[in-house]
Structure 1
């Protein structure tokens, strides 16, 4: 019996699987919106992990092209001294966001090594109004949204795969905060070191 295809519907479940640690209620709402179950979520995660750890499945950016199809956008980008390619795919669950993969230049066609993978704001979507720490609600913003709204933002060492953290200072009060993200989407904020 052929293996069922793995596409954006299943990939959204992979994203949700990592977010369930922080907000199971939001994940339950998302599963209902996707007409999916927790069993579907676990199965999608199992299949994705099998692909990630397979010696025969394409690696690098080809892994995403195989699962998600051609990217909606592909561009060259300069980040400091590094040059890379950015690939973006729409994510129906979050219409104002895109799943972005940053890849090393060169290599085999479609096979550049992946440097980063996360959700970002779609180019034509307005960023949320983030003025105070109270505006930093779960799933409301991306790493870049928070970094722009609360400069200067300092990246901190990730505490797990697919997670990232930013140290920021609240405007006006000087309160130090650490914003925690999974796949680039805000999960929670906690007081930072004083």
Structure 2
């Protein structure tokens, strides 16, 4: 009793729960607040994650691009993008839980998904990032942090859908520190300050 029927179509709400489930490793309190805002029980989040994993790992799985279209419908926008020498395509979908963000799926010329993460919505006001104190959980995306504290060095993530950045940033008193920022689905989860930057 109490199990969500898995025969229901996997929809946008379920995908948001999948993103939250991965973020819960770093920010369980924020995830709990978001889950309650969505009005779903913890069991629904666990079930959504279980179904997502089964879809991704199934030998009969749809391509990643087709999977997102099936779950979220037609993208809000489709934009050509050039990365190095390759032309690719960026597809954006809104997610109600993060109205100022979009899920961006980046497709290679052959249709394979290169990247999938949250980015700021076109026209939405991004955060003011100047000091360490501005880098709070869920405050910014990978590209926003990289621009604000350039040059930033990409770091290999500890798991799928995770990314890292290494950069230097001042604290409120102006002392610069070496920082490692961790992101899940492109959204900042936490920062670790290594030590003040050597003069």
**Given the two structures, how large is their TM-score scaled by the length of structure 1?**
0.93
The one of 34, 47, 50 equivalent to 2:54 is 50
Which of 12, 21, 26 matches 1:22? Answer: 26
C-alpha deviation, 1:3, in angstroms: 1.9
Matches within 5 A, 1:13-162: 13-106=17-110, 112-162=111-161
Aligned pair count reads: 189
Q: CA deviation at 1:184?
A: 0.3
Q: 1:173 to 1:81 in 2, by over 3 A?
A: farther
- Aligned residues of 1:167 and 1:192 also touching (Cα < 8 A): no
The normalised TM-score by structure 2 is 0.90
* 2:80/2:89 contact within 8 Å kept: yes
SS for the counterpart of 2:176 is coil
- Give the aligned partner of residue 179 of structure 2: 177
The gaps in structure 1 that reach 5 residues or longer are 107-111
Check conservation: 1:103, 1:116, Cα contact below 8 A. Answer: yes
Which structure 2 segments of 5+ residues have no match?
Answer: none
Query: What do the CA deviations read for 1:112-140 (whole angstroms, capped 9, x no partner)?
Result: 11111100000110110111000000011
Kept after mapping to 2: 8 A contact 1:90/1:98: yes
CA distance in 1, matches of 2:13, 2:105: 18
Please report how far the alpha carbon of residue 2 of structure 1 lies from its aligned counterpart in structure 2 after TM superposition: 8.4
CA deviations on 1:79-132 (whole Å, 9 max, x unpaired) are: 2223211111001000000001111114xxxxx111111000001101101110
CA distance in 2, matches of 1:173, 1:156: 23
Flag as ranges the 4+ runs of structure 1 deviating above 6 A. none
